[in-house]
Structure 1
Amino acid sequence: MPKSSKREQWNKLSLAYMKKYPSFIYFLGLSLLLGMFSSCKRTDPEFTEGSVQLRFSEDTVYFDTLLSTVKSTTKRLRVYNDASKAVSISTIGITNTSNAFSLTVNGIEGNAFENTDLLAGDSLLILLNATLEDQNENLPYVVEETLSFTTNGAEQTVPVIAWGQDAHFLRDSVLVCNSVWTAGKPYVIYDDILVDSLCSLTIEPGTRVYSHFGSTIYVQGTLLANGTAQSPIEFTNDRFDSGFDTAPGQWNGIVFLEGSKSNQITFATIKNAHNAIWLGTPDNDTLPNLTLANTIIENNTGSGILTFTSDLSMTNCLVDNCGEFVLACLAGGNIQIVHSTLTNYGLGFFRTQPIAVFTNNLQLNDGSVLLGDLSVEMENSIVWGTQTDELAFNDSGDKSFNISISNNLIRTSDSNISNQNIVNQDPIFIAPYEFNYRIDTLSPAIDKGVDLGISIDLDSLQRDNKPDLGAYEWKQN
């Protein structure tokens, strides 16, 4: 008989038997199932009673740097049992005399834990958070505690160290008219602040301004942020843990509103914003609404500088590494750029926009077009990046369009620019992928500038009578 016929007969007999004796089949299956479970008896782990050395993922837990009263991000410490038997950790605790730290073990938060079992070859995850008290100090301070583990009478410790910084906190507020911010404690901004019309904010040398995620500095009056070479002013985000010192898009930036005038930012750094500077200050004169000098603007998800029918003066400035434009001057304005380096190597970004764009028009979302007379003067500067054309213009024909670009080094295919500038020759930055845009020994930018009376460079080094192009003067080591 074929095998298939035998299989069919067997299936028919089995089905008939199940119909005739259903109870027997049920109890047979149940007995087999219970037998399977009874053979899987739980065995308690065997614990070692001798000396055991736990192993830790970190020899020290660091928090760097925390603003006082602000809860930290969570740090993680793994505890490993490399022994062949389970261990019972009789105590896990932190000294915590500062009351700054909290632990979470097995989902429970506290400062001390008892009789925590750890199987052979297994690990235990400990979560640590810190909230430091205000110390009424201008300088950073350190808080040190000890995380201890006692196993079979033997104690092991892991230091826990947090650097703290007291601060002035500002949240969603209009500043007192004619405020003065001083060096010492940094100023930390949550949400938005506003420098009101007819008022000023003066920021003194050495002042640090830290902005929380999504916050904006609005200026309808006047911002006077004048640092020095020895004590520059810093605008950046308020997170200092690893990876965030160069993380773009951590705050919105500085927005100059219509009516704002006579703004100054010198010897400053502005970084890690969305659009670092947004200048929307149309008026009827050609005086700079914002004067930028000896300033570094970098690491922005949007643009470094956006202007709308506004007047801007830039000297000795470095603007680099932006997700969109480095500099976009739209719908007109009076723009002066001298001894500045505008560069974009797309570090961490995929970009399609050129480094710099100048237009006398801008189409708005409602379809209307904003127009304004445009005047651009660029001299002794570098515009260089990874794209073939890093400089763009757009003339509507409805407003004046005056462009004077000479004695610069530019990456472009525009033949009109090539007559008065060095084009498509790599400036040979020292280490552009490490944010070092000083020119190297063989740079074609050396000695190619004209003397404009700008005697020092962005590093406060002296320029000679044949200055180099860009923000930095080359100096032989």
Structure 2
Amino acid sequence: MKIKSKETFLLLFFLFGLIIISSCRKDFDTILNTGKLEFSKDTVFLDTVFTNIGSSTYSFKVYNRSNNAITIPKIRLEKGIDSNYRLNVDGITGKDFENINILAKDSIFVFVETTIDYSQVSTPLYEDRLLFDSGDNMQSVTLITLVQDAHFLYPSKSNGVIETIIIDGVDTEVQGRFLNDSELIFTDEKPYVVYGYMVVGDESNAAKTLIVNPGVKVYFHQNSGLIINNNSKMEVNGSLNVDGQEETEITFQGDRLESDFDNIPGQWGQILFRTKSFGNKINYLNIKNASIGLNIFGDGSNTNNIIIKNTKIYNSSFLGIWGNNANIEAENLVISNAGVSCFAGVSGGSYIIKHSTFANYWNSSLRNTPSFILSNYNVFRREDEEIVVLNLNEAIVSNSIIFGNNNIELSLEKSDDQANFNYLFQNSIIKFDDTGGNFTNNHLFDFTNISIYKDIILNGNVDFKDFLSNNLEIDANSNAINKAKINITQEVPFDIKGLQRALPADIGAYQFKN
């Protein structure tokens, strides 16, 4: 019996081995392709690329639906070796392939990528075809890419070492450089692509101004951004887009143009304003997918650091706006979906906000911080860092919405120090659902105190049209309708879309239009 069992085992092992060997054979019998291939895509659109910058890799599948294994005698790019497309067909790289086999009822992958020199093509829309077989059996898949010329701003390199920024005599070890005077006017002739941090100003802190004209598009590479140095400033002069005319709003976003990256946070760094950067103006700017949209430092004085109007900041992985003892005025400001908070005014300062909307429905990770923060010390300091308490001279939030998917979307952090902590919320919708009673005895959140909370709608129905896609326009059931303070509306008579506000107007950056 033992011998028989052993013989049985050896026989089964031998048969199993044959199965494995036969399944791994590459010399299976095939027939020639008959021109009946099927494709997962008949056209592959490679999203817009900048000149001489490589695209992402795109793919499609080639199906053999027949009951026979087939051989495709030839697969090639129509433009041959001169084509700007690069291929990988069934694990083989090249531009011309012979005798590619596909098993019966099986498929293979084709991967495509490109790098195109704008000056070497006759039209920005670059096309080629990938041809399968020839003669009557020939089939094709079209490849299409839009290539854009651009201004490229990047640090210089010496002996293989990339230049870093020296500010106030200190090497920051941040890759970047100071913009030349000839680079301080951004025009809409073609987009700008930024590598590293570009600094407005110079090492001597001389006064410089970066002017961004209507319609400009700035694309930032990973770990890139702008720094506005002491005594320098930035003027972003966008205007409302009008249908049928050239686009005039201005966009700052990451340089990944594929549709899959439309709403991916943290693709680039930040726009940082140093302590002595005064008189900055921003109008009709869209900031997308940064780590920090605007990082604004101030000196606690009455000198205005920045005026922000008609601006949208979406999908910041950390903060939409971070004010650090800054002096900020904002109207028709929309900030949505940030990893920490939409707006944080910390370490004191002055913040005047009118007809704005802050809504945080962040869903990329756990968020335990509120949408809107005011404090007289730096709540984001390191644990080993000393607490420095500064005056919150003034914070007035009027006709605005503070909302999100957390129960508590407003945070007021006041140190026990004697520093000023002056604030007023009026005619605003605030999400503050203290179901646990944690703030019952906290006088900072006494919503019955009309000296600090006046005509507040607590936990109202905002009725945003589509907050997940950053559309924070209000709909017909919103409690914001007709609840705005009239004298504030008279100071901001048009909403962010250029619609004239009625009296009484609607709370937030958007006026409801039926």
TM-score (norm 1): 0.87
Show structure 1 runs of 4+ deviating over 6 A. 36-43
Checking the alignment, whether the CA contact within 8 Å between 1:409 and 1:421 is kept in structure 2 is: yes
Tell me how far apart the structure 2 counterparts of residues 152 and 227 of structure 1 sit (CA, whole Å).
55
CA distance in 1, matches of 2:19, 2:124: 61
Residue in 1 that maps onto 2:389: 371
* Counterpart residue type for residue 261 of structure 2: F
User: Displacement of 1:119 after TM fit?
Assistant: 2.5
Aligned twin of 1:228: 239
Give the corresponding residue for 1:462: 500
Map of 1:3-402 to 2, 5 A cutoff? 44-49=27-32, 51-96=34-79, 99-135=83-119, 141-150=124-133, 154-171=137-154, 172-177=176-181, 179-196=184-201, 197=205, 198-220=207-229, 221-230=232-241, 231-283=248-300, 285-362=301-378, 364-365=381-382, 366-374=384-392, 375-396=394-415, 397-402=417-422
Q: Please, which moves more after superposition, 193-202 or 324-333?
A: 193-202
The verdict on how the C-alpha distance between 1:212 and 1:39 changes in structure 2, with shifts beyond 3 A counting, is closer
Offset of 1:388 from its aligned partner?
A: 2.2
Greater Cα shift, 383-392 or 146-155: 146-155
Larger Rg: 1
Residue 443 in structure 1 maps to residue 443 in structure 2: no
Q: 1:43 to 1:346 in 2, by over 3 A?
A: closer
The residue identity in structure 2 corresponding to 1:399 is A
Q: 1:380-400, CA deviations, whole angstroms, 9 ceiling, x for partnerless residues?
A: 111111222211112223311
Asked if 2 retains the 8 angstrom alpha-carbon contact of 1:322 and 1:349, the reply is: no
Matching of residues 384-423 of structure 1 within 5 Å = 384-396=403-415, 397-412=417-432, 413=434, 414-416=445-447, 419-423=454-458
Relative distance call for 1:339 and 1:281 in structure 2 (3 A) is same
The Cα of 1:136 is off from its aligned counterpart by 9.1
1:14 counterpart residue number = none
Q: Aligned partners of 1:109, 1:454: CA distance in 2, in Å?
A: 59
Question: Distance in 2 between the 1:161 and 1:189 partners?
Answer: 25
Q: Alpha carbons of 1:387 and 1:49: their partners in 2 closer, same or farther (altered >3 Å)?
A: closer
| Range 399-408 or range 115-124, more displaced | 115-124
| 1:372 maps to amino acid | L
Identity %: 31
C-alpha spacing 1:152/1:307, structure 2 compared with 1 (3 Å): same
Deviations 1:221-242 (A, max 9, x none): 2111110002110011111212
1:371 is displaced (CA, Å) by: 2.1
CA contact (8 A) 2:227 2:273 kept: yes
Question: 1:148 Cα deviation (Å)?
Answer: 0.2
Note if contact 2:33-2:72 (Cα within 8 Å) is conserved in structure 1.
Answer: no
Q: Which amino acid aligns with 1:75?
A: Y
Would the aligned equivalents of 2:200 and 2:209 in 1 still touch at CA under 8 Å? yes
Q: What is the match of residue 3 of structure 1? A: none
Q: What is the CA-CA distance between 1:426 and the residue it aligns to?
A: 1.5
Q: What secondary structure sits across from 1:433 in the alignment? A: helix
- Cα deviation digits, residues 253-309 of structure 1 (max 9, x gap): 2111222121111111001011111112325x3132011100001111111011111
Q: CA deviation at 1:189?
A: 0.8
- Counterpart in the other structure of 1:25: none
C-alpha distance in 1, partners of 2:75/2:310? 53
| 2:210 alignment partner, SS class | strand
5+ long unaligned stretches in structure 2? 4-9, 155-175, 242-247, 435-444
Q: Distance in 2 between matches of 1:400 and 1:468?
A: 32
Counterpart-to-counterpart distance in 2, 1:124 and 1:152? 22
Q: Deviations over 1:1-24 (max 9, x none)?
A: xxxxxx9xx89xxxxxxxxxxxxx
Structure 1 residues not aligned, in runs of 5+? 1-6, 12-28
Is the CA contact (8 Å cut-off) linking 2:150 and 2:190 kept in structure 1? yes
Deviations 1:328-371 (Å, cap 9, x if unpaired)? 11110011000001111224342110111111112643431222
Structure 1 residue 47, shift from structure 2 partner: 2.5
Secondary structure, counterpart of 1:470 in structure 2 = coil
Q: Which stretch of structure 1 is more off in the superposition, 385-394 or 161-170?
A: 385-394
* Cα offset, 1:99, TM superposition: 3.0
Q: Secondary structure of 2:329's partner? A: strand
- RMSD across aligned positions (CA): 2.8
| CA distance in 1 between partners of 2:238 and 2:33 (Å) | 63
| Residues 333 and 449 (structure 1), Cα distance of their counterparts in 2 relative to 1, 3 Å cut | same
> How far off its partner does 1:434 sit?
3.1
Aligned equivalents of 2:26 and 2:60: distance in 1? 29
CA apart distance, 1:44? 4.5
Q: Tell me, what secondary structure is at the counterpart of 1:224?
A: strand
- Distance, in Å, in 2 between the alignment partners of 1:343 and 1:39 is 58
Asked whether the 8 Å contact 1:145–1:160 carries over to 2, the reply is: yes
Q: 1:39 to 1:274 in 2, by over 3 A?
A: closer
Q: 1:468 to 1:113 in 2, by over 3 A?
A: same
- Work out whether residues 142 and 162 of structure 1, in 8 Å CA contact, stay in contact via their aligned partners in 2: yes
Q: Is the 8 A contact 1:52 1:83 kept in 2?
A: no
Contact 1:331 1:361 in 2 (8 A): yes
Quote the offset at 1:418 in angstroms. 5.4
Quick check: 1:89–1:152 contact (8 Å CA) kept in 2?
A: no
**CA deviation digits over 1:420-471, x for unaligned, max 9?**
3121111222222332211112222111112322111001101123121110
User: 2:338 & 2:43 partners in 1: Cα distance?
Assistant: 36
State TM-score, norm by structure 2: 0.81
Output the CA distance in 2 between the equivalents of 1:250 and 1:446.
36
Q: How many Å separate the matches in 2 of 1:312 and 1:152?
A: 69
C-alpha separation in 1, matches of 2:408 and 2:258:
37
Question: Structure 1 residues 37, 235: CA separation in 2 closer, same or farther (over 3 Å shift)?
Answer: closer
